[in-house]
Structure 1
Amino acid sequence: MSAWLLSLEGTPQGHQLAMMLALSAAVLHAVFGALQKGRHDPWLSRGAIDISYGLMAAPFALFVVPWPEPHMWVIFAGAFVIHLAYKLLQAQAYTKGAYTVVYPVVRGTGPLFAVIGAYVIFNETFTWIQWAGLGVLLMGIFGLALYNMVYLTAARETLTSALGLAVATGLFVALYTTYDAYGIRATADPFTFLAWFFMIDGFAMPILAVLRYRSMTYKPALPPLALRGFIGGLIAFLSFGSVMMATRLDQVGEAAVLRETSTVFAAIIGWVFLKETVGPRRIALMALIALGAVIVEIGG
């Protein structure tokens, strides 16, 4: 599998596969975000998800994939710190604000800085058509966040802090996207990076989740939380693994932009499952997001 995937790097077939992987990651990431924001406290949900994918990844990291090269340990340490900061910010943002307000701001801030980071680190460039497409996509994403903010009926007293946290989280999305793209390219076998990343990354948030659980007056039942964590762990494997493989096969900036169509799917999930309102204006804004992604892809 690794040899076949690596043979596609830089080829038209690799570009097509990277596009499909990035779009798959968009759908899965929206589901992942909803799992963290939904029924349970976001800190507990994140802890359950992380311990699940950490334990699932351990056998593959230890016994299946090749062991990391010596230089990879420093890269893993950096990834651990960056992702921990991202998750702390995201959990706090979800605690303060509504999912359909926070999520678009997080995902809208990410691709712009990821494209800039891809230029600085990987010397990738966007055509003027792609920049136009990115602008259309960002108009849709931030327009969606603004619309949700105007018509928000709950948690208005914490809206300002939630938006600030969402912007900071988006900056870390861009940081981990470019950093992890560097990491997955720094090892001979991309599955080595993925397996070891998930194993190492899965053991910080569960500690915080346990501390939070112990301090709660009304503790939620653990079996439903464990099930949510197991499902979220599987989704995380597929979502993060897909977008990271896309950044190895093709341009980091394009993969980052296509992934942010997750905002469309997040709005649908928020409406259907979280009972958050959707109307024709939000549908129009979601169409802008999709159009921007199409323009970015066509202009490449």
Structure 2
Amino acid sequence: MPAAAIAIVLIAAAAHAVWNTVSKYKRGDTVVFVWAYSAASALLFVPIGIVVMVVGNDTLSGHLAIGAVVSAVLHVAYSLSLQAGYDASELGVVYPVARGIGPVLTMVAAIVLLGEHLTAAAVIGALVVVAGIMVGTGNPFGGNKNQPARGVAWGMTTGIAIASYTLWDSYCVTTLHLSPFTYYAATMLLEALILTPGALRRRSEIAPVLRDNTAPIATIAVLSPIAYILVLVAMQHAPVALVAPLRESSIVIGSLLAWRLFGESHLPRRIVGAAVVLTGIAAISF
């Protein structure tokens, strides 16, 4: 895997970890919060996407429309399944399962369905990255977990959604040759539109959420699209079967930030998990 692609994915992972950490400061209704930063992202990036389209002599096409519609539906399904999991169980149950199973499913599907060919070292490295993620986040059934079985079920559902949108987006930017920036700008616009009816049903919550979450919404609106656009760019230069697990190294970064900012425990385990992830990244790079 090219060193430049690895660097791009790791930068994306760091941005992903930061915006997920910022989201923990959220106050108020979750659906309205997600809609707010999705709409803000669309307002920021759709005009830039239009400029990129004009400068790059791209045109609106059926491929772009279909690709963005399917991607938006899959991303919304991911967001809703993730939130349903958090409502049913603890973050420490849902998150590691979703982020662990997602890249594994992506890797298997990329090899079987997309015909990607990987070296043995790359496959081992990808699996080591996933193992490091699981080490860093801990045992979802351990400790004083709330409804672990339901959390694992929702985590698996979320992981399937992650694998689905990752594979579809890879197909769109590699096989259909859609511009990552224009493609994801269109996807963000459609995501915001899909979430708008749910936000309007909670219209009384909109003003308080915007007032109490101005900084988190602005931060996520910028960093979340940048993180994923970088991933789409990396997919154009490296197999999605390797990009997917590398992207999930954000979990280790996020867990270290959670320890530092929120006083979460198990620092030694988090450090060991980070070391395992780095070992896997080294294997992939060779």
- Tell me which interval the TM-score lies in, with the shorter structure as reference length: 0.7 to 0.9
Identity among equivalent pairs (%): 25
Return the match for 1:194 from 178, 184, 198.
184
Q: In structure 1, which of residues 90, 94, 102 is the aligned counterpart of residue 94 of structure 2? A: 102
For 1:29 and 1:80, the matched residues in 2 are separated by: 18
Q: Distance in 1 between matches of 2:156 and 2:138?
A: 13
Question: Which one of 23, 31, 41 corresponds to residue 10 of structure 2?
Answer: 23
Counterpart in 2 of 1:120? 112
Q: Is this contact kept in 1: 2:135–2:269, CA < 8 A?
A: no
Conserved? CA contact 2:111–2:117, under 8 Å: yes
Go from structure 1 to structure 2 and tell me whether the alpha carbon gap of 1:204 and 1:98 turns closer, same or farther (over 3 Å shift). same
Q: Distance in 2 between matches of 1:62 and 1:239?
A: 19
Cα–Cα, structure 1 residues 296 and 16, in superposed 2: closer, same or farther, change >3 Å? Answer: closer
The alpha carbon displacement at 1:296 in A equals 2.0
Deviation of 1:59 after TM superposition, in Å, equals 1.7
For 2:80, the equivalent position in structure 1 comes to 88
Q: Distance in 1 between matches of 2:141 and 2:15?
A: 24
Q: Residue in 1 aligned with 2:235?
A: 247
> Residue by residue, what CA displacement relative to the aligned partner does 1:91-110 show, whole Å, maximum 9, x if unpaired?
22233444344322221111
Query: Who is 2:46 aligned against?
Result: 58
Superposed CA offset, 1:71-106 (max 9, x none): 322222211211111110112223344434432222
Q: State whether residues 37 and 94 of structure 1, in contact with CA within 8 Å, keep that contact through their aligned partners in structure 2.
A: no
In the alignment, the residues of structure 1 paired with residue 148 and residue 12 of structure 2 have an alpha-carbon distance, to the nearest angstrom, of 28
The runs of at least 4 consecutive aligned structure 1 residues that moved more than 6 Å come to none
- 1:293–1:16: structure 2 CA closer, same or farther, 3 Å change rule? closer
Segments of structure 2 that go 5 or more residues without pairing to the other structure are none
Query: Which residue of structure 1 aligns with residue 198 of structure 2?
Result: 208
Q: Which residue of 2 aligns with 1:134?
A: 126
Q: Does the 8 Å contact 1:68/1:187 carry over to 2?
A: no
1:274 and 2:266 are equivalent in the alignment: no
Equivalent residue for 2:166?
Answer: 177
Q: 1:256 aligns with which of 218, 232, 244?
A: 244
The 2-side partners of 1:48 and 1:215 are apart by 11
Given that 1:108 and 1:142 are in contact with CA atoms closer than 8 Å, whether structure 2 keeps it comes out as: yes
Measured on the aligned residues, the alpha-carbon RMSD in Å equals 2.5
- Which whole-Å deviations, capped at 9, do the CAs of 1:176-213 have from their partners, x for residues lacking one? 11100111231453332132222222222344244346
Give the corresponding residue for 1:230. 218
The number of residues matched between the two structures is 280
